[in-house]
Chains A and B, each alone.
Chain A
Amino acid sequence: MKNLHFIYYLSLLAILSQVITACNSCSKQGVDVTQDLYVPDSVIEVAPPQVSKAVTEQMMQNISSPVETAALIKGLKIPFNKNFLASTKQAEKFNTNFEKAFALGLYGCDLGYLNMYEKTSFVVDYISTIKRLADDIQVGQFFDFNTLKRLATNNENLDSLILISQQSFNRIDNYLTETNRSMLSAVIVAGVWVEGAYLSSRVAQISNHPRIRETIGEQKTILSFLLALLMVYDKDPSMTKLLDNFGKIKKLYDEVKITYEIGEPEMVEENGVLTFKQTDKQIIQMDDELYQKLIVGIQELRNDLLKL
């Protein structure tokens, strides 16, 4: 009889564990996608978008991407320039975990730029700096330093260099979020954005390409999401200080006007590949004076935060 009871409790335990495991996504029922994140068709208004903490945390990985920024610059046939990059010697000036997370994002962006231009001879210096910073904030185990170093040193499989760099940063972000240190994730994103905007601003000084002018202007949209994300942690004194640093550039961006013309996407299938082409248009309005002020403002912000 005792054995029968034992089997009964064993079965009950097994069923219970199955139910708990299976219920991980029980709450994810059909939803209206417009509820959590409303993005105005016109961002003329100065107020940052009202975005919930959960949504901003999910979105942070996409706010600024080193690969996309570098690809846009390279796509304009702008030659590589080492002088655009932050010197790795500056990394020693970052002391707190907050500062190191910011520097991690900043150098991560530079790594994306180096990878995109396949400048492997400089990569080892940057991945060494990134690894040190990552170790200091206890996320070094997610940065695949040895594989990256091997790929860069042997000049082999450059696509893998980008893939592993990007996956390393994604794993760092996931781990920080899982261990309730998502503020550091947000700070890393801020570092990526500042350096990406800086690289674009340096290109803007040597190129009259209208796309680079638009890139500078559209940072208003990205900055508004970044600030919404950083504001989630505004009770932290270091974050308050960082937000103060962003004050001047935010004020300048308030003067940029962005409006949209909405169109229907076009669908084309070629060689089995289905492509959707968006036909919406974004119109960015800013005069030359404001454009120059934005370039200077971005560079001042980056140099201040880099402690130059």
Chain B
Amino acid sequence: MKKILFSLLVVLMGVTYFNKVNAQSEEELVQICTMIAGDAEYLKDFRIKLDAGDPPPVQRFPILLKKDIKYRFTVCNSKDYEGKVILQLFDNNRQLATTYIVATGKDYPYIDWVCTKTGAYHLVYSFRDGKAGLAVGLLSMVGTM
């Protein structure tokens, strides 16, 4: 019995270690996102981790954006989860931009946003079909207009 217990413990520790070694960290996702964003200057990153749910759970971040700046919003999914992240940009109550166009079913790794009004906006992240997911969103600056 002791041998069985010991074997069980070794297997459990092995699985935990394996998961830790192979799991994609948020820091790695930030690095990947930075590369996808290309020449745009990094401003801030957002970490998104959501469970599965119906309606799809969301994580939101209020931000201030400035007039005459072209921003780039990049998203990166963790390979360890099924969920594909979607970003929606809102002002008070209107959706202004998104990384997922429902009409075409097309997903974009990044979108650019030309801001013409200095003020508060909301970044709303969710995972398609309410699946569980881990992702990073990146805010960067392409340049001035």
Q: A167 within 8 Å of B by Cβ? A: yes
- Distance in Å from the Cβ of B61 to the closest Cβ of chain A? 6
The answer to whether A25 touches B49, judged by C-beta atoms less than 8 angstroms apart, is yes
Of A22, A31, A265, A282, which contacts B67 at CB under 8 A?
A282
B116 touches A281 (CB 8 A): yes
State how many angstroms separate the Cβ of B17 from the closest Cβ of chain A.
Answer: 15
Question: Are B58 and A31 in contact (CB-based, < 8 A)?
Answer: yes
Q: Is A28 an interface residue (CB 8 A)?
A: yes
- The interface bits of chain A over 204-230 (1 if a CB of B lies within 8 angstroms of the residue's CB, else 0) are 000000010010001001100100000
Select A68's contact among B39, B43, B117, beta carbons within 8 Å: B43
State the Cβ distance, B47 to closest chain A Cβ, in Å. 10
Give chain A residues whose Cβ lies under 8 Å from the Cβ of B67: 214, 218, 282
Contact with A along B36-73 (1 / 0, CB 8 A): 00010111110001110101111111111111111000
Please give the number of chain A residues whose Cβ is less than 8 angstroms from any Cβ of chain B in the complex.
59
Distance in angstroms from A300 CB to nearest chain B CB is 23
Q: How far is A278 from B97 in the complex, measured between Cα atoms in Å?
A: 9
The interface of chain A, by Cβ under 8 A from chain B, is 3, 6-7, 14, 22-26, 28-31, 33-34, 36-39, 41, 49, 55, 58-59, 61-63, 65, 67-68, 71-72, 74-75, 159, 162-163, 166-167, 170, 211, 214, 218, 221-222, 225, 260, 265, 267, 273-282
Chosen A-B contacts, 28 in total, with CB atoms closer than 8 Å, are: A3-B5, A6-B5, A22-B51, A25-B59, A26-B51, A29-B53, A29-B55, A30-B57, A39-B91, A49-B120, A62-B63, A62-B64, A71-B69, A75-B143, A159-B41, A162-B42, A218-B66, A221-B119, A225-B120, A260-B117, A273-B111, A275-B70, A276-B112, A277-B114, A278-B96, A280-B116, A281-B117, A282-B116
Closest 8 CB pairs of A and B: A75-B144, A276-B97, A30-B55, A275-B112, A62-B63, A280-B117, A277-B114, A278-B116
